[in-house]
Structure formats: structure tokens, C-alpha cells
Amino acid sequence: MAEQSKPTTPAPPSAEESSAVHVAVAVIRNARGEVLLTQRHPDSHQGGLWEFPGGKIEADEDLAGGLARELQEELGIKVLHHESMLRIEHDYGDKQVLLDVHSVTAFAGQPSPCEGQPMRWVDPSDLGNYALPEANGPIVRAIVEGQP
Ligand SMILES: Nc1nc2c([nH]c(=O)n2[C@H]2C[C@H](O)[C@@H](COP(=O)(O)OP(=O)(O)OP(=O)(O)O)O2)c(=O)[nH]1
Ligand SMILES: [Mg+2]
């Protein structure tokens, strides 16, 4: 007679093991304390909303590598220093994301919209006037509260 196997409860997957898309997200400030927003392409996921620059970390990259590549591609800047701000897991229903949010505290070059995307420097007090993806609430709160 076959031995009865005990029912086991698998441990929930960690963020890295789950199917969440790992995204490097950059909070970039200028000398006036404004933060950089770009607008997502209308045809993309969460299209038309304003976002912090960044994008998917590729399989062969770590966070720093993905952050550096995305900011070079999207804004033409070279990241010199960055600090972790927060990580946000969010389920949009059609897509799960893990936003790895970093404050880019030093960079070389002047950010410009290399992919033709609309781009704005925004005072933190004006962020409420921009439509951002739902997952971004904690990022906006951290900026408004003055987290470095
Ligand atoms: N870059 C960025 N992505 C965000 C933010 N908030 C948020 O929910 N996301 C989500 C939207 C997307 O589902 C995902 C980013 O993936 P993406 O496909 O746009 O990344 P990507 O820049 O590598 O784009 P692509 O190469 O596919 O064009 O993260 C944010 O503030 N910045
Ligand atoms: Mg992107």
C-alpha cells in the first residue's frame, strides 16, 4: 500500500521568487529640490501616467546595473551614487511589480528625454497634480516627507 503523504503548506514565494517584475525606479532631484517625472508611453502598461524614470532589471543584471542602464537609455545620464529608499510590491491584477526605489544622489550629465518621452522637474508640493501609477503612493509620501 502506498504510503500516505502528509499535506504540506508551501512557504509563500519571496518577492524575488515570485512572478513579480523587478523594476529599478529612480528618484532624481535637481539643485532646487524638484524631482524628475517622465510620462509613460500611451501604449505601455499604466500608459499615459507620470512615473519616476527606470525600468525592468534584466536577468543578467543586478539592481545597480539595471538602474544605470535604464537612466543612461532614458535620460542620458551616468549614475555616480544611489541610495536605497524603499521597495514596493504591487499587484495590478494584470501584472505584479516589485519597485526597487533608489534616490540617485549623484549623476553626470544633464537629464534629457532620450526616448522622446514628456519630462518635467516637479516641486514635491506639486506631485499631487500628476496622475501616477497606484503603486507610487509610498514614493510620493517619502518625497513629500523629505526622505533623502
Ligand atoms: N519606471 C517606472 N515603472 C513604474 C513606476 N511605477 C510603476 O508602477 N511602474 C511599473 C509600470 C510597469 O509595469 C513597470 C516598469 O516596466 P516597463 O516595462 O515600463 O520597464 P522598461 O522601462 O524596462 O520598459 P521597456 O523596456 O519594456 O520599454 O513598473 C515608476 O514610477 N517608474
Ligand atoms: Mg522605463
Find the CATH number of the domain harbouring 126. Answer: 3.90.79.10
Tell whether 42 is in a known binding site. no
74 CB near ligand 1 (under 6 Å): no
Rounded-to-10 torsion of CA 136, 142, 143, 146: 180
Q: What is the pTM of this model?
A: 0.89
| 49 CA to centre of ligand 1 in angstroms | 11
Q: How many domains are there within the chain? A: 1
Look up the domain containing 131 and give its range.
Answer: 21-144
pLDDT score recorded for residue 1: 47
Q: Which residue blocks in the chain are alpha helix, DSSP H? A: 63-75, 137-144
Answer whether residue 94 is part of any domain. yes
Answer whether residue 2 is part of any domain. no
Instruction: From first to last of the 148 residues of the chain, give the pLDDT tens digit.
Output: 445 555 555 555 554 557 899 999 999 999 999 999 999 999 999 999 999 999 999 999 999 999 999 999 999 999 999 999 999 999 999 999 999 999 999 999 999 999 999 999 999 999 999 999 999 999 999 999 987 7
Answer whether residue 139 is part of any domain. yes
Answer whether residue 5 is part of any domain. no
Answer whether residue 8 is part of any domain. no
Answer whether residue 12 is part of any domain. no
Q: Rounded to an integer, what distance in angstroms lies between the CA atom of residue 55 and that of residue 63?
A: 11
Answer whether residue 14 is part of any domain. no
135 CB near ligand 1 (under 6 Å): yes
Answer whether residue 10 is part of any domain. no
Alpha carbon distance, N-terminus to C-terminus of the chain: 64
Query: What atom of ligand 1 comes closest to residue 70's alpha carbon?
Result: 22
Residue nearest ligand 1's atom 15 by CA: 55
